[in-house]
Chain A
Amino acid sequence: MTEALQWFRYHWRRLIGGATRDDDSRPYNYSSLLACGGKSSQTPKLAGKHRIVVPHLQAFKDEYEKFSGAYVNNRIRTTKYTLLNFVPRNLFEQFHRKEKKYIDRCWKDVTVGDFIRLSCNEVIPADMILLFSTDPDGICHIETSGLDGESNLKQRQVVRGYAEQDSEVDPEKFSSRIECESPNNDLSRFRGFLEHSNKERVGLSKENLLLRGCTIRNTEAVVGIVVYAGHETKAMLNNSGPRYKRSQLERRANTDVLWCVLLLVIMCLTGAVGHGIWLSRYEKMHFFNIPEPDGHTISPLLAGFYMFWTMIILLQVLIPISLYVSIEIVKLGQIYFIQSDVDFYNEKMDSTVQCRALNIAEDLGQIQYLFSDKTGTLTENKMVFRRCSVAGFDYCHEENAKRLESYQEAVSEDEDFTDTLSGSVSNMAKPRVPSCGTVHNGPLGNKPSNHLAGSSFNLRSGEGASEVPHSRQAAFSSPIETDVVPDTRLLDKFSQITPRLFMPLDETIQNPPLETLYIVDFFIALAICNTVVVSAPNQPRQKIRHPSLGGMPIKSLEEIKNLFQRLSVRRSSSPSLTSGKEPSSGVPNAFVSRLPLFSRMKLASPVEEEVSQMCESPQCSSSSACCTETEKQHSDGGLLNGKVESLSGQPLACNLCYEAESPDEAALVYAARAYQCTLQSRTPEQVMVDFAALGPLTFQLLHILPFDSVRKRMSVVVRHPLSNQVVVYTKGADSVIMELLSVASPDGASLEKQQMIIREKTQKHLDDYAKHGLRTLCIAKKVMSDAEYAEWLRNHFLAETSIDNREELLLESAMRLENKLTLLGATGIEDRLQEGVPESIEALHKAGIKMWMLTGDKQETAVNIAYACKLLEPDDKLFILSTQSKDACGMLMSTILKELQKKTQALPEQVSLNVDLPQPPVPQDSGLRAGLVITGKTLEFALQESLQKQFLELTSWCRAVVCCRATPLQKSEVVKLVRSHLQVMTLAIGDGANDVSMIQVADIGIGVSGQEGMQAVMASDFAISQFKHLSKLLLVHGHWCYTRLSNMILYFFYKNVAYVNLLFWYQFFCGFSGTSMTDYWVLIFFNLLFTSAPPVIYGVLEKDVSAEILMELPELYKSGQKSEAYLAHTFWITLLDAFYQSLVCFFVPYFIYQDSDIDIFAFGNPLNTAALFIILLHLVIESKSLTWIHMLVIIGSILSYFLFAIIFGAMCVTCNPPSNPYWIMQEHMLDPVFYLVCILTTCIALLPRFVYRVLQGSLFPSPILRAKHFDRLTPEERTEALKKWRGAGKMNQVTSKNANQSAGKSGRRPMPESSAVFAMKSATSCAFEQGNLSLCETALDQGCSETKAFEMAGPSKG
C-alpha cells in the first residue's frame, strides 16, 4: 500500500513538474521515500550540482527484528513482482551494520548509501560504486544485456586504492565521502570522486560504476556502495515510461462518435422546435394535449425545451455506447486468434506470439514505418566462423557451411524426436547431427578420420553437458557457434606442423614450411589476439587458474595429457603426443556406442543422405565402412548407455567457455579450437594455448593494445615460447591492416614477392567474403627484435603516464608498433541472419512499409547486415551521414537532398507524380532508390530542432535508413520524431533492454523474445519469437484486424443510425412528442441482444482475403496504410445509407398502414422486424466470408427476436404500461400483409447497397476484391494468376517509364498499339522468368536510364 503511494507520489511529481526532473536544486526527498524509513536523517544531501553520498551509519535494530520476522520466507517472495513497475523483488545482500553481516533485502528497499554485496550471476539492483571484488586484480565482469542488449562481458574496476586490499571492504570503517554527478541518463559517462577522511581524493569514472540491470559474471562476489537508487538509476532514466496507447482506428471512431453526438443534437433540436410549433397549433386541445396534473398547460417554448431532453433520452441509442463494449470483445477475439496462430509457434523456444496489449491489434494493419533493432532481432546474435584465408589460400570450409545450413532442420527434426524418446539421448544426439557428417567426410583415410571424429565428438558431448547449466550463455555456447568443422585441406597442412619448424637454427627446409608457419601463426593469432575470458563450465563460473602460473609448462602439459588419457578426449595425430598413449579401452567404446544409438533414433535418414552424397567422392568406401561399423556396434549401445550418462556428467578439460567482449572474438577462438589450437587460459601476464601439434604453449603477454574504433584493430605483444622472439599479432579491419603491411621485407626479394602475392590473393578473398555478407578481419603479425621492443616500450610508457592528450600519444604509440606487418590471412565471420529475415523484409517493403534499422553496432556491421537482409539493395544509392559538427551535418544533408532532387528530375515521370503528392515527396519504387546511413553522433545533430525537418525530408527520399551507434534514448527520439512529425503509424521491434524506450514510444512495440532477457518483451505490446513472424503478424493479422474492426465500427454506426432514425421519423407523425412506436423492452434488446452478436462475430471472423493470398501479395497491405476501409467519407456514406434505409424502413410500412386501424405498437412491430432483417442482411452483404458460425448467429438473432416477441407478447398482459405489446406479434404472424411488408421493406432498403457492391465487384474492383478471386482458384490456377498479377504490377511501372522515356526522346506520342504490345511482351517475359523478375526489370531499367552504378557518396568524416 505504501509502495503504491510512493509510486504515485513519485509519478505525480514527474507529472506536475516535467522541469523538476532537471531541476537539480530540489531536495532529494524521494530517495527517502524509497528507503525503508527511519533513515531520513541520513538521506544524501546535495551540494550544488553534485550529490554527496554518505554511507548509512545509523543502527536500526528494531528494523532488523522486523525484517528477520518478515523475511523468513524470503525464497517465496523472490518471484513476486511489485504490481506497478514489475521490478522483481530480488533479494540481495545489504550490509547490516548492527549484525556485522549482510542481510537479504528487497530491491525496493535499496537506498543511496547502502552497501551491497552481490554474488556471481546476480542482478545489480542500483547504480553503485565498485569497492571490492573477489578478483585479485580488482576486476568485476558484468553483462550489460539488460541495458544495451550486448550480451558480452564488460570489465569494471574497483575504485583505485581499494583494489589492493585482500579482504572485503569493511563498511564499518568506510569513512570516505563520495561526490558525483546528479542523476542523469547518460549510460556512457560517470564522473565523481571519492574523498577519504584525510581529504585525499580518488577519481571515479564509468569504469567504477555498476549499473542497475546488469548482471555480475565471472566474479565470485563484489561489494559496492549505492550512489543512485530507484528511479534515479541510469537504467530507469533511460526508460521514458510507458505510454497509454490508443489505436488510430479508435481515435477516428471517437471523432465519429462526436459527429454522432452532433447528429443527435440536431435531431433533438428538430424535435424540440417541431414540438414547439405543433404545440402552438394545438395548445388548447385538451383531447390529446394533456394538461399538467394541476390543470394548466405549459407554454410551447418550455415544452420544446423539455422535449429536447425527452428526445435525447429517446434517441440516445444513436451514440453507440455498446460500440465500445463490442470493440473490446472483438479485440479480445482477434487477440485470441493471433495467439492461436500456429505459424507463430517456435518449437525451439516453445513459445508463440504473446499479445500483451489488447487494444491496438488493428494498428498492426496500418504500419507505415518500421524501426528495427539489429542484433538479436534481425540476426541471431550468433557469430559463426565461416571461412578463412591463410597465406593466400582460401579455405572455404564447405562442410562448415553445410553444417550451418543443415543446422536449422536438424534441430527441428530433433525436436520432434524428443517427444517420443528419452530426453537424455536426444539431447546428446542434437549436437551430433553435423558431426556424423564429419565422420563420413573424413578425408585422410579411415584412421585419421576416426580420430578426428572422436575428438569432435568429445568436444561436442562435452559442450552438450556444459550447455546445460549455462542455458543463458546460449549466445556463446550454442553448438552452431562453437562447433566449427575444419576444412579438410587446411587440416592436411596441419599434419606438417612439427615443433622442429621453430628450431631457430634448423634451416634445412626453407620453402615448404613457410606456409605452414603462416598457418601456425595465423591460428595462434586467432587464439591469443583477443580479450577473451576463459572460464570453466562447471558451477562457480570463475576463471581457470592454473597452479603453474609461474611458468612450468611441462607440468601442466603432463596434467593435460593425463586428462586426455582419462577421458580420451584428444587423440592427436601428432606423433609427439600420441606416442604410446593409447586410450584405455572402455571409455572410447562408450563414445562410439552413442553413435549407433543416435543413428537408430534418427532412423538414419540424414545420415544416409549424407552418405549418398559423399559416395561421389573417393572417400565413399571409408565412410560406408564407418557406417557399417556403427551398425555393428549397435547392439552394444544399450548396455553402455549407463556409462554414457555417467560420463556426460563429468567435467571435461576442454569444456572451456569463452566469453568475449565482442562475439566475433569468441567465434575466432572457437575456430582456432576446432583446429586444435585451444586457448586454455588467460591471465594478465600469460596466455596458454594448447596447440595440438606443438603441445601447450605459454605465451608471455607483454602488452595488449585494445581495440578502438579509430584504429579499428587490436594487437597483442607476446614473447613466442618457441622462437623466443617478441611477436606482435594484430587483428583488424581489412582496410587498415592492408595499409600497414610492410612494403620492404627484410628477408629478401623472394619473400617480398611472396608477400605481395599473398596480399593480392587475400584482398581478392576479402572482397569475396564481403560480397557474401561476411564480417572480415585481417590477421597480421610482426616480429620485433628485443631492442626494438625495448625502444617502443619506453616510448609507450611515456605515453601511458602522460596526463595531457594521453589519448593521442597512445594512438601514436600504437601506430609505431603496428606497422610493417606481415599479412597472415583473413577470416570471414557470419553474423547469421535469422531465418526468413530477408524474405520478411522484402515482403514488408512491398507492403509499403518504410524500414529503419536502429542499432548500437558500428557502421560497417550495420551496413553489411542491411545488405544481407535486403534492407538495402546492391543497386541502391547509399548516402552516409557522418559528421562531427552540426553545421557540417546540415550542409551534407542539403547536398544530398539536392543531388536526390536532381536525380529525380532526370526521371520525368517522377516529377509529375511528385507534384500532386503531399509533402514530403515519396519516391516510387520504380524510381530512384536510396539508402541512408547515419551515425549516432550525427543523429544527435539531426535530431536537433533546426535540422529535424531537413532530416525527415531526406529520410523520406530513402527506402531504408540505417542508424548506427545509436543509444537507447536516441532510438526512442528517432521514433518519436517520425511519429509526431510525419503523423504516421510506427512500429518498433527489438529484443533487448536497449530497445525498451523505443518500443514504448512507437505506436506498436514488438518485443522479440530472444536471448537478451525479457525486458523488451515486458515493455512490448506484442512479443514474437522471431523476426520472420512479423510479416505474417502485419500482413495477415494486421490486415485482418484492421479491416475487421473498421468494418465493424462502421457497421455499428450504420446500425444505430438506421434503427434510431425509425424513431425519429415517427416523431413527425406524433407531434414530436417523443413517442416510440416500439415497446421499450424491444428497444433495449434490439441493440443489446438481437443485433449485437452478428457484428461481433463479423468483427472477429471476417476474412476478406485468405491468409495465403495476403502473404503472397504484400501490396494488399497498402489499403490498410491508407485506411481505405475507414475513411472520413466512408463514414458519411455509411450514415447516408443508414438514413436511406431507415427512411425506407419507416415509410414503406407507413404508406401501407396509412389510414388503417393499426395501433401504435402494432405499427412498430413490422418496423422492428423489417429493421432487424435489413440490419442483419446488410451484414451478410458486407461480409466477405460466411462460416457456419455467422449463419448460426444470424439465424439465432432472428429466432431470438421472434421468440422474445412471441413470449413477451403472450405473457405481458398488463405489464409495461404505456407500450403493452400484448398479442401483437401473434396477430401479425397470422397476417400475410405483415410478411409482405417485411419482405418489401427489406428489399427496397438493401437494394442500393447491394447494387453498389455488385457494380463495384464487376466494374471497379479494389485490389482486395480482385485478390479475393484467387481464393476460388485451384492451386495451379492461383500461382498462374499471382504471376500475372505481379507481372502486371511490374508491367505498369515499366510501361509507364518506357512510354514516357520514348515520348521524351522522340518528341511525339508513340502509337498506342505498339507501345501496348511492347508492354505486353515485356510483362510476359517477366512473368515467364519468375525467379529472375528483378533481373528482367533491371535490364529494362538500363535501357531507359543511362547509369545506375553503385555509388557511395558523402564524405565519411567531416
Chain B
Amino acid sequence: MIRRPSAEECPTSSAPRRRRLRWWRWRRRRRRRSSGSCQGQQADPFGGPPARRGAAPRGPMAMNYNAKDEVDGGPPCAPGGTAKTRRPDNTAFKQQRLPAWQPILTAGTVLPIFFIIGLIFIPIGIGIFVTSNNIREIEIDYTGTEPSSPCNKCLSPDVTPCICTINFTLEKSFEGNVFMYYGLSNFYQNHRRYVKSRDDSQLNGDSSALLNPSKECEPYRRNEDKPIAPCGAIANSMFNDTLELFLIGNDSYPMPIALKKKGIAWWTDKNVKFRNPPGGDNNLEERFKGTTKPVNWLKPVYMLDSDQDNNGFINEDFIVWMRTAALPTFRKLYRLIERKSDLHPTLPAGRYYLNITYNYPVHYFDGRKRMILSTISWMGGKNPFLGIAYIAVGSISFLLGVVLLLILFKGRKSTAELGKLLGRPSSSASIVNHM
C-alpha cells in the first residue's frame, strides 16, 4: 500500500527522513502553505524550469499518490493539497462572527440607565451631604498679618521665641475623636524640585545614605562638611510652630487639652518607611553621629521628642511633614484629641485659647497659617462638594431621562404616522416638508 512516489517526483525521500519530515510538514500545512510541490519547487512567477513544469504533479498519477497519502500519513513531498487545503478555518472567531453584545444607544435602550443613575446618586449625595454637615470643624488663622492679631508681633524675626495666644469659642461641642490640623496656604510643597529634595534611603535608616545623602538633597545635603541628617529641602522647611490648646472653664483656671502626638502618621510610614539608623543602644545621638541638623532647624533630629518611640526619623510630626501635600493650600494632621468617655464630649462648647510658639515664617510669600479642629466621619473630614456633586449629577441624569422619555414618545408617534421607524430614511421627512 505504501508506495513511494517515483524517484523522479521526489528524489530525496527516504523512510527515516520521511518520519522526520512529517512533523515539519504538518507545521507547514498548519501554516496553510501546503503547495503542490517539492521543497525546491515552489511555484515561481516566471514559469520555473521547464523540465519540472512538464511533470507538474497535477495529473491522475499525482492524484493517486495523494489518495494513498491519506492512509500513509503522506510522503514528505505530497503533491496536491486536496485534503489539506488552504481553506481558512470556518470558526466564529476567524470569520468574525463571535457572539457580540451590540449596544445600540437610543433613547429607548438607555432610558433605564439614566433613571437608575439618578435614583442611586441622589440618595448617596444626600447621605454624604448630611454626614458632611454633621462634621464639626473650626479654623483659626494665626498668621498674624493683621495688626490686630495677637501674633502680629511675631512677624519680625527678632522676637525669639515668640509666643502668642489666640482666643476662640466653640459654639457646639465636638463629639468623638477630634483632629487637630495645622493648615498652610500658598505653600508650594508640590514644587518639582522641592518634592525631589529628600533621600528616602536615609530616612529608611540606611547608614551609608545617612552619611552620604543623595544628590537630590542639594543644596541641603551637607553643611560645614557634615551630612545633614534629614537632608533636603522638605526636611529643612519642616513646620516647627508649637500649638497648645487650653479650655477656659467657668473657673478662670485654664485647663490644657491633652494632645496626642502619636498616631497621626500612617502606620506603614512610621513602622516601615521611616526608620532610625541602626546601631548601638537606645542612644539616638550616637546613631546620628557624624551628621548635622538641617540649616533651618533649631535642634537636631534626635532631639525632636523625648519619647524614644517618636524621636529621630520616626517622629510623627516629621513623618507627616515629609508626606508632601498635593496642593498649595493644605492641612496636615498635628495632634489627636482622643475621646475620653462616652458621656462627655471631647471638646465641650466653651471658650478656648490657642497658645502658639511662633517659629514658622509664612508671611513673606503671602502664606497663611491656620489651626483646624475637626471631628471626622466615615468619609473623613468636612467635604460639602462631594455630596452636592452627587446630588447634582443624579438630578441631571434624572432630567435627561425625562427628556429622553419625551423624545421616545415623540419618536413613537412619528413612526406611527410614517409607518415604521426602521428603514425610514431621515431625508424623506424633510422632502415631505419641503413640498
Given A292-B219, A1155-B330, A1158-B326, residue A423 in contact with residue B60 (CB < 8 A): yes
A1235 to chain B, nearest CB (A): 11
Q: Is A428 part of the binding interface, using a Cβ–Cβ cutoff of 8 Å? A: yes
Contact B94 A1186 (CB under 8 A): no
Contact B191 A1071 (CB under 8 A): yes
Name the A residues within 8 Å of B203 (CB-CB): 1214
Contact B216 A1218 (CB under 8 A): yes
Contact B329 A419 (CB under 8 A): no
Contact B425 A1217 (CB under 8 A): no
Question: Which parts of A1159-1188 form the interface with B (CB within 8 Å)?
Answer: 1159-1160, 1162-1164, 1180-1181, 1183-1188
Given A120-B50, A293-B218, A1071-B188, residue A1227 in contact with residue B266 (CB < 8 A): yes
19 A-B pairs with CB atoms under 8 Å apart are A78-B48, A121-B50, A287-B187, A289-B188, A337-B96, A342-B94, A468-B61, A469-B54, A1069-B190, A1071-B188, A1157-B325, A1185-B102, A1188-B98, A1217-B200, A1217-B216, A1240-B393, A1243-B397, A1258-B107, A1284-B420
Cβ contact of B45, chosen from A76, A1018, A1077, A1299, cutoff 8 A: A1018
Q: Is B193 part of the binding interface, using a Cβ–Cβ cutoff of 8 Å? A: yes
Q: Is B272 part of the binding interface, using a Cβ–Cβ cutoff of 8 Å? A: yes
Known A-B contacts: A146-B46, A427-B59, A1217-B196. Give 19 more (CB < 8 A): A86-B45, A121-B47, A292-B219, A345-B88, A418-B63, A427-B60, A1101-B96, A1155-B327, A1157-B181, A1157-B325, A1160-B326, A1186-B101, A1218-B196, A1223-B266, A1231-B380, A1266-B422, A1295-B428, A1295-B431, A1299-B431
On B, residues with C-beta under 8 Å from A are 40-50, 53-56, 58-67, 80-83, 85-90, 94-96, 98-108, 110, 117, 121, 124, 128, 181, 183, 187-201, 203-204, 206, 214, 216, 218-220, 233, 237, 266, 268-269, 272-273, 320, 323-333, 364-365, 378-381, 383, 385-386, 389-390, 393, 396-397, 400, 404, 407-408, 411, 420, 422-428, 431-433, 435
Contact B365 A350 (CB under 8 A): no
Contact B46 A123 (CB under 8 A): yes
B297 to chain A, nearest CB (A): 13
Given A347-B87, A1073-B188, A1240-B386, residue A1160 in contact with residue B408 (CB < 8 A): no
Contact B428 A1288 (CB under 8 A): yes
Cβ contact of A423, chosen from B80, B117, B424, cutoff 8 A: B80
Contact B95 A342 (CB under 8 A): yes
Contact B426 A1260 (CB under 8 A): yes
Contact A342 B404 (CB under 8 A): no
CA distance A546 to B344 in the complex (A): 131
Name the B residues within 8 Å of A1295 (CB-CB): 428, 431
Contact B331 A1156 (CB under 8 A): yes
Name the B residues within 8 Å of A1069 (CB-CB): 190, 326-328
A288 to chain B, nearest CB (A): 4
CA distance A289 to B219 in the complex (A): 11
A285 to chain B, nearest CB (A): 4
Question: C-beta contact mask, A1293-1334 vs B, less than 8 Å → 1, else 0?
Answer: 001100100000000011010011001000000000000000
Contact A1073 B193 (CB under 8 A): yes
CA distance A1319 to B364 in the complex (A): 81
Q: Is A589 part of the binding interface, using a Cβ–Cβ cutoff of 8 Å? A: no
Q: Is A490 part of the binding interface, using a Cβ–Cβ cutoff of 8 Å? A: no
Which of A120, A291, A1158, A1218 has most B Cβ within 10 Å?
A1218
Q: Is A465 part of the binding interface, using a Cβ–Cβ cutoff of 8 Å? A: yes
Contact B82 A418 (CB under 8 A): yes
Contact B54 A1291 (CB under 8 A): no
Name the B residues within 8 Å of A1184 (CB-CB): 102-103
- Nearest A residue to B79 via CB reads A423
- Nearest B residue to A1160 via CB reads B326
A1183 to chain B, nearest CB (A): 8
Q: Interface extent on A, as a size class?
A: 35 or more
Name the A residues within 8 Å of B65 (CB-CB): 423
Name the A residues within 8 Å of B390 (CB-CB): 1236, 1240
Q: Is A43 part of the binding interface, using a Cβ–Cβ cutoff of 8 Å? A: no
Given A287-B365, A1288-B423, residue A468 in contact with residue B58 (CB < 8 A): yes
Contact A1185 B100 (CB under 8 A): yes
Q: Is A706 part of the binding interface, using a Cβ–Cβ cutoff of 8 Å? A: no
Q: Is A1269 part of the binding interface, using a Cβ–Cβ cutoff of 8 Å? A: yes
Contact B195 A1075 (CB under 8 A): yes
Q: Is A29 part of the binding interface, using a Cβ–Cβ cutoff of 8 Å? A: no
Name the B residues within 8 Å of A121 (CB-CB): 47, 50, 53-54
Name the B residues within 8 Å of A424 (CB-CB): 60-61, 63-64, 67
Name the A residues within 8 Å of B365 (CB-CB): 282, 285, 287
Contact A1153 B327 (CB under 8 A): yes
Contact A1284 B64 (CB under 8 A): no
Name the A residues within 8 Å of B320 (CB-CB): 1157
Name the B residues within 8 Å of A1236 (CB-CB): 124, 128, 379, 386, 390
Contact A90 B46 (CB under 8 A): yes
Cβ contact of A1152, chosen from B199, B219, B385, B435, cutoff 8 A: B385
A353 to chain B, nearest CB (A): 9
Name the A residues within 8 Å of B323 (CB-CB): 1159
CA distance A215 to B124 in the complex (A): 83
B269 to chain A, nearest CB (A): 8
Given A468-B60, A1157-B330, residue A1247 in contact with residue B397 (CB < 8 A): yes
CA distance A415 to B407 in the complex (A): 57
Contact A469 B188 (CB under 8 A): no
Contact B98 A1272 (CB under 8 A): no
Given A337-B94, A1220-B200, A1254-B404, residue A1281 in contact with residue B422 (CB < 8 A): yes
Contact B96 A1107 (CB under 8 A): yes
Name the B residues within 8 Å of A119 (CB-CB): 50
Contact B331 A1157 (CB under 8 A): yes
Contact A1217 B102 (CB under 8 A): no
Name the B residues within 8 Å of A81 (CB-CB): 44
A469 to chain B, nearest CB (A): 5
Cβ contact of B81, chosen from A344, A350, A1154, cutoff 8 A: A350
Q: Is A1151 part of the binding interface, using a Cβ–Cβ cutoff of 8 Å? A: yes
Q: Is A1014 part of the binding interface, using a Cβ–Cβ cutoff of 8 Å? A: yes
Name the A residues within 8 Å of B425 (CB-CB): 1285, 1288-1289, 1292
Name the A residues within 8 Å of B424 (CB-CB): 1288
The 4 closest A-B pairs by CB, nearest first: A423-B63, A468-B59, A1163-B326, A1014-B45
Q: Is A487 part of the binding interface, using a Cβ–Cβ cutoff of 8 Å? A: no
Q: Is A1015 part of the binding interface, using a Cβ–Cβ cutoff of 8 Å? A: yes
Name the B residues within 8 Å of A1188 (CB-CB): 98-99
Cβ contact of B435, chosen from A90, A1255, A1271, A1312, cutoff 8 A: A1312
Name the B residues within 8 Å of A1272 (CB-CB): 102, 104
Contact A471 B56 (CB under 8 A): yes
Given A292-B219, A1266-B422, A1269-B104, residue A1159 in contact with residue B324 (CB < 8 A): yes
Contact A342 B326 (CB under 8 A): no
Which of A81, A1160, A1180 has most B Cβ within 10 Å?
A1160
Name the A residues within 8 Å of B220 (CB-CB): 290
- Nearest B residue to A1270 via CB reads B422
- Nearest B residue to A427 via CB reads B60
CA distance A465 to B58 in the complex (A): 10
Q: Is A341 part of the binding interface, using a Cβ–Cβ cutoff of 8 Å? A: yes
Cβ contact of B423, chosen from A146, A1232, A1281, cutoff 8 A: A1281
CA distance A1244 to B121 in the complex (A): 12
Contact B383 A1152 (CB under 8 A): yes
Contact B87 A1257 (CB under 8 A): no
Question: Which parts of A1040-1090 form the interface with B (CB within 8 Å)?
Answer: 1069-1071, 1073-1075, 1077
Q: Is A79 part of the binding interface, using a Cβ–Cβ cutoff of 8 Å? A: yes
CA distance A213 to B385 in the complex (A): 80
Cβ contact of B88, chosen from A310, A341, A465, cutoff 8 A: A341
- Nearest B residue to A1315 via CB reads B435
Given A291-B219, A1071-B191, A1158-B325, residue A1243 in contact with residue B393 (CB < 8 A): yes
- Nearest B residue to A1209 via CB reads B268
Contact B66 A423 (CB under 8 A): yes
Contact A1070 B192 (CB under 8 A): yes
Name the B residues within 8 Å of A1213 (CB-CB): 200, 204, 272-273
